[in-house]
Amino acid sequence: MPGKNNKAGDKLKKKGRTPYKKGDGMSALLFLSPTLVVFSTFILFPVIFSFYLSFQKWNMFSSETTFVGLDNYIRMFQSEEFWQVLKNTAIYTFGTIPLNMGFSLMVAYALNKKVIGKKFLRTAFFAPVIISPVAAAVIWRWLYDPNFGLINWFIGLFGISPINWLNDPTAAMFALIIMGVWKTFGYNMVLFSAGLQGIPETYYEAALIDGAGKWTRFWKITIPLLSPTTFFIMVMSMIGSFQVFDIVYVLTSGGPLGSTKVLVFYVYEHAFKFFEMGYASAVSYVLFAILFIFTMLQMKYMKSKVLGN
């Protein structure tokens, strides 16, 4: 208890803080130092240096870089391949999201009801999320095999003729999207489940008394009250999908004919195959800019949700 004349104590109390010991600042620095060292070395410095590099021409092996101004950016925007890659990334992202969200919401909604073996079902739907993308892509390569693959056999049951999934430029992106949805929907299912559990039961009870049917309850209560979750999932999925790499690398390696070459793959290729560090940095900065826009959308939501406490 602060003394009756202890102004500092009152002030602190007003702010809801407890006066601890003196010298918190020094200990804070000490406690934060390992993290600060790692962050400044592997995040802060790289972000700045990458920006600098995007105006340079450099192959990494020579000791000198050449300032080229906006050349890397101009080259990028004039490159047909870059636009193709950007388009591929957008197709992957906006192809995956609706399927992913629809499916994950459906499963979350179903598992929110009384189901026998809920734990088993949840495990089953979640399993693809946790396994490595590399192994998952290896498995799917085999599933997509045009001659012996399980997928062609499966669609054959419905009378669909075999598709050369990974070698046909139009089918390959579709193959990637299907696999991407399979790999990630379980994650969103968990988020949707948490969102669904956050909706008070009383709303449904009240609606039931008013005679609202199943669909009315779903569209008028569940969907609107779930919208913060939906928004969060949508933006996070966009951010994630724009950075897809592993499954592309193993499943299609960007082919056939560059039809599945995505942005991160393009950055990887230019940096670590062609050693065009400046150009690759410029491309990664454009990707950063795109993701930044998505993140700003997200921040608006996060601010009210998290930093409020």
Partner 1 sequence: MPGKGLKRTVKISKGIVFHLVIYALALVTLAPFIWMVLTSLKDMNEIYVYPPKWLPEKFRFENYKNAFEAAPFGRYYINSIIVSLSVTFGQLITCSMAAFAFARLRFRGSNILFYIFLGTMMIPYNVTMIPSFMMLYWLGWIDSFKALIVPGLASAFGTFLLRQFFMTIPKELEEAAYIDGASRFSVLWRIIIPLSKPALATLAIFTFMGAFNDFIWSLIVLNSDEMRTVQLGLAIFRDRYLTQWDLLMAGSVTAVLPILLVFFFAQKYFIQGITLSGLKE
Residues 115-154 that bind partner 1 (CB under 8 A): 115-117, 119-128, 130-136, 138-143, 147-148, 150, 153
- Applying CB under 8 A, does 68 fall inside the site for partner 1? no
- Applying CB under 8 A, does 243 fall inside the site for partner 1? yes
- Applying CB under 8 A, does 59 fall inside the site for partner 1? no
Residues 75-104 that bind partner 1 (CB under 8 A): none
Judged by CB under 8 A, the residue of 42, 77, 94, 274 near partner 1 is 42
- Applying CB under 8 A, does 199 fall inside the site for partner 1? no
Nearer to partner 1, 173 or 233 (CB): 233
- Applying CB under 8 A, does 200 fall inside the site for partner 1? no
Q: Cα 296 to the chain's mean position, in Å?
A: 14
Instruction: Write down the least CB distance from residue 255 to partner 1, Å.
Output: 14
- Applying CB under 8 A, does 225 fall inside the site for partner 1? no
Q: What is the 3-state secondary structure (H, E, C) of the chain?
A: CCCCCCHHHHHHHHCCCCCCCCCHHHHHHHHHHHHHHHHHHHHHHHHHHHHHHCCEECCCCCCCCEECCCHHHHHHHHCHHHHHHHHHHHHHHHHHHHHHHHHHHHHHHHHCCCCCCHHHHHHHHHHHHHCCHHHHHHHHHHHCCCCCCHHHHHHHHCCCCCCCCCCCHHHHHHHHHHHHHHHHHHHHHHHHHHHHHCCCHHHHHHHHHCCCCHHHHHHHHHHHHHHHHHHHHHHHHHHHHHCCCHHHHHHCCCCCCCCCCCHHHHHHHHHHCCCCHHHHHHHHHHHHHHHHHHHHHHHHHHHHHCCCC
Examine residue 256 and say whether the peptide bond preceding it is cis (omega within 30 degrees of 0): yes
Instruction: Write down the least CB distance from residue 219 to partner 1, Å.
Output: 20
- Applying CB under 8 A, does 249 fall inside the site for partner 1? yes
Judged by CB under 8 A, the residue of 73, 203, 218, 288 near partner 1 is 288
**Span of 75-83, 84-92, 113-121, 213-221 interacting with partner 1 by CB under 8 A:** 113-121
Judged by CB under 8 A, the residue of 105, 163, 177, 287 near partner 1 is 287
- Applying CB under 8 A, does 250 fall inside the site for partner 1? yes
Binding-residue total with partner 1 (CB under 8 A): 100
**Span of 25-33, 68-76, 90-98, 216-224 interacting with partner 1 by CB under 8 A:** 25-33
Judged by CB under 8 A, the residue of 45, 67, 94, 274 near partner 1 is 45
Nearer to partner 1, 111 or 175 (CB): 111
- Applying CB under 8 A, does 1 fall inside the site for partner 1? no
